[in-house]
Amino acid sequence: MTILPSQLMSDATRTEQCLTSVFGKTADATAPRLMEAMAYSALNGGKRIRAALVLGAARLAIATAKPDLSDVEEGFGDEGQGSLRVAAAFECLHAYSLIHDDLPAMDDADTRRGKPSCHVAFDEATAILAGDALQSLAFELLADPLTHADPGVRASLVVELASASGVNGMAGGQMLDLEAETRALDMDETKVMQAMKTGALIRAAVRSGGLVGGADPALMTGLDTYAVKIGLAFQIADDILDRQASAEDLGKPAGRDAEAGKASFVDFLGMDGAIDEAAKLAREAGEALHATTSYSTPELDYLLELASFIIRREF
């Protein structure tokens, strides 16, 4: 029987509880409207895939390090409050990126997850500042000693997220995506763009889970390969959904890339080819994890099921 639905919901709920606690501690902020906009966007539901990947990788790292696996087979171990704070940091960074993505100067989207986008619910200037503040909060969470006692681990977590979100990651990928509105990209260029725009943050989430969970070098290598594969699979699945799902299903406008003249993986591979490629990547992601261990645990199964969920999701 699949373990994914209940554990994915648990990971999402506990991450949101962590975020709610963080926002609650700053409820007396001198800029309450800004805090309201930050909470509105960060607590606006969603799949919490990045949080799940952080927590799943952390649990696998902890389970793999245990010399006695008898208790591991009974169910999930505790990944710790530090891992939850890392998961919350990634959700803050992701929320910031969605706020800015939706702005009139970017994708100009009025809805997000079935609700008014931040700049519609508040105003454009407040939305920009809310995104800026959520980005800062993400790094504050990672750098805080409450996240991990070892300052070297905290520094590594900061580097992971900074690299994934900057000019060589998400922001750079978004710039290439904007340029694609006036210049057609070929498939190789599209892969590079999507690896930066979408894949980099997914990769960093998995790697950060491994870091906070104390993964050894062999497991980190497996986690990294897994993350690269599912990052690309995630974007292919997004392209498929953009063609097949309605705006109501997605909770945001559908078909915007096609309207802007941007080629997607569906254009390059065809619908059937895109579906097959996503399945192949998910399978290869699982093989990368299996190569790091000779036994099966709920922690391993969770990450394998997440890879399948990513390509079969309906929103």
CATH number at residue 254: 1.10.600.10
Concatenating the DSSP letter of every residue in 145-179 gives TTT-S-HHHHHHHHHHHHHHHSTTTHHHHHHHHHH
What's the pLDDT score for residue 74?
A: 43
Q: How far is CA 78 from CA 72, 82, 103, 207, in A?
A: 10, 11, 39, 18
What's the pLDDT score for residue 181?
A: 85
Q: Say if 185 falls within a structural domain.
A: yes
What's the pLDDT score for residue 45?
A: 85
Contact in structure between 89 and 148 (CB atoms under 8 Å): no
Q: Say if 174 falls within a structural domain.
A: yes
Contact in structure between 199 and 193 (CB atoms under 8 Å): no
Domain that holds residue 172: 4-310
Torsions phi, psi for 123 (to 5 deg): -165, 170
Give tens-digit pLDDT for 98-133: 999 999 999 899 999 889 999 999 999 999 999 999
Residues of the chain with pLDDT under 70: 1, 26-28, 67-78, 245-252, 254-258, 260-261, 315
Q: Say if 221 falls within a structural domain.
A: yes
Q: Report how many domains make up the chain.
A: 1
CA distance between the termini of the chain: 23
Query: Please, what's the largest Cα pairwise distance for the chain?
Result: 58
Q: Say if 315 falls within a structural domain.
A: no
Q: Say if 190 falls within a structural domain.
A: yes
Q: Say if 129 falls within a structural domain.
A: yes
pTM recorded for the entire structure? 0.92
Contact in structure between 158 and 143 (CB atoms under 8 Å): yes
